[in-house]
């Protein structure tokens, strides 16, 4: 089914992105997996290519384009190439909007040019050992000390943490107010008292650096607060929808890539004198996955269109996130099975995709939380 949401300008951008990935990312990705991190040079090249923070105003070096189809295309092409290492989406689509939308003119002038060029890599510390999706239970505190805050606490599962030059930290500036006392502070990880742990050993996404961040009486200037005191939970909850939509895009793109590899494999692999795709079981499985992915892609494309128009509601984003990531799991698992023993070998892209997929029903709020949000919107 032909997709109708893209213009010729988007098609040209896709060609540019695909060429960049083939030149600068795909040939090196296996080494990045071994190293557990994407080198800064790759970030700088992405900045030169114009792939970072495209929504940033032109005065700061950005394209000034607030069109979700552009980060959508970047995510789709990275998944098509099976390159999950670069945290460009986390940087540009998940973290940058806090500064672009809610930062002061001084903050934007200070940070945005580097965000666009790749010289200032962003991360966000929201999850804690005892507080996942519940922002009202944040234990990291920020004590008012006149012209600065003293921040103490820790954050878990911080993506881009090892690479980051700036980490947005959720912290309780007024703990008694629970969610209404949570604020967001931008912290330079080189500040005394900040310790970034070694990269965590994850099941998948091995080239993407994820670590814990520890803060021990860290002095953070008040001018580093994003938004106003007590707005943190509201801002983070609001921007989570964009993260969840991006996860949905990636889930469908990842499953589509896996199915395409599997179709090719089923045409090439022979058993009992014929391609394995000729067996009824294989054909039925492929037909079912093709149908489900066509439906999922149609829904996600519609969600992106409505997002650009400002009409997509949070429960609808939750529907997209849980449905597409659950579908991604089913599709890739079946694709591994159709590959037989080769599907279990990490030299085959399908095996790496199978490892990577397990994160998506967890990240951005678990799928159980998504169903809870949908249920509440129905009046329960």
With a cut of 70, list the residues of the chain below it in pLDDT: 132-133
Q: Residue 225: its pLDDT value, please?
A: 97
For position 135, what pLDDT does the model report?
75
Distances (CA, A) of 65 to 18, 192, 303, 351, 355: 20, 37, 18, 36, 34
Query: Which token pair is 329?
Result: 């799991």
- Catalytic pick from 243, 292, 306, 347? 243
Q: Give the domain 122-230 fold.
A: Butyryl-CoA Dehydrogenase, subunit A; domain 2 (2.40.110)
pLDDT of amino acid 236 = 87
Specify the pLDDT at position 132: 66
In DSSP terms, which residues pair with 319 in a beta bridge?
none
Give residue limits of the domains in the chain.
8-117, 122-230, 234-377
Write out the two tokens for 326.
Answer: 């659950």
Output phi, psi for 274, to 5 deg.
-150, 160
Q: Is 243 a catalytic residue?
A: yes
- How high is the pLDDT of residue 133? 62
> What per-residue confidence (pLDDT) applies to 214?
97
Residues facing 211 on adjacent strands: 158
CATH no. of 8-117? 1.10.540.10
Q: How far apart are CA 6 and CA 29, in angstroms?
A: 28
Report the alpha-carbon distance of residue 196 to residue 200 in Å, rounded: 11
377 in the Ramachandran plot: left (φ > 0), alpha (ψ -120 to 50) or beta?
A: alpha
Q: By C-alpha distance, which of 374, 371, 330, 378 is closest to 354?
A: 330
User: Domain 234-377 class?
Assistant: mainly alpha
Per-residue model confidence (pLDDT) at position 309: 96
d(CA 115, CA 137): 30
pLDDT at 40: 97
The predicted-structure confidence for 122-149, as pLDDT tens digits, reads as follows 999 999 987 766 777 899 999 999 999 9
């Amino acid at each position: 089914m032909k997709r109708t949401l893209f213009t010729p300008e988007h098609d040209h951008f896709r060609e540019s992105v695909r060429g960049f990935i083939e030149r600068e990312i795909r040939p090196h990705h296996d080494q990045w997996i071994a190293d557990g991190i994407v080198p800064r040079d790759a970030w700088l090249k992405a900045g030169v290519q114009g792939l970072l923070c495209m929504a940033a105003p032109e005065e700061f070096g950005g394209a000034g384009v607030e069109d979700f189809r552009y980060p959508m295309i970047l995510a789709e092409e990275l998944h098509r190439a099976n390159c999950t290492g670069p945290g460009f989406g986390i940087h540009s689509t998940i973290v940058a909007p806090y500064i672009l939308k809610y930062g002061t003119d001084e903050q934007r002038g200070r940070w945005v040019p580097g965000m666009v060029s790749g010289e200032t890599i962003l991360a966000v510390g929201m999850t804690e050992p005892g507080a996942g999706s519940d922002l009202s239970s944040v234990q990291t505190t920020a004590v008012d000390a006149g012209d600065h805050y003293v921040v103490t606490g820790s954050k878990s599962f911080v993506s881009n943490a090892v690479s980051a030059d700036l980490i947005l930290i959720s912290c309780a500036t007024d703990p008694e107010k629970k969610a209404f006392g949570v604020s967001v502070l931008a912290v330079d990880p080189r500040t005394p008292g900040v310790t970034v742990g070694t990269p965590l050993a994850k099941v998948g996404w091995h080239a993407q650096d994820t670590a814990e961040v520890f803060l021990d009486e860290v002095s953070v200037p008040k001018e580093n607060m994003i938004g106003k005191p007590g707005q943190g939970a509201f801002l983070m909850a609001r921007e989570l929808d964009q993260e969840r939509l991006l996860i949905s895009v990636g889930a469908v793109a990842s499953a589509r890539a896996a199915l395409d590899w599997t179709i090719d494999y089923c045409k090439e692999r022979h058993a009992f004198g014929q391609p394995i795709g000729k067996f009824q079981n294989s054909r039925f499985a492929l037909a079912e996955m093709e149908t489900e992915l066509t439906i999922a892609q149609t829904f996600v494309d519609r969600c992106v269109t409505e997002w650009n128009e400002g009409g997509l509601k949070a429960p609808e984003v939750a529907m997209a996130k849980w449905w597409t990531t659950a579908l991604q799991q089913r599709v890739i698992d079946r694709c591994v099975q159709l590959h037989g023993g080769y599907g279990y070998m990490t030299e085959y892209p399908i095996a790496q995709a199978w490892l990577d997929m397990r994160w998506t029903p967890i990240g951005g709020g678990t799928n159980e939380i998504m169903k809870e949000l949908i249920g509440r919107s129905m009046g329960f």
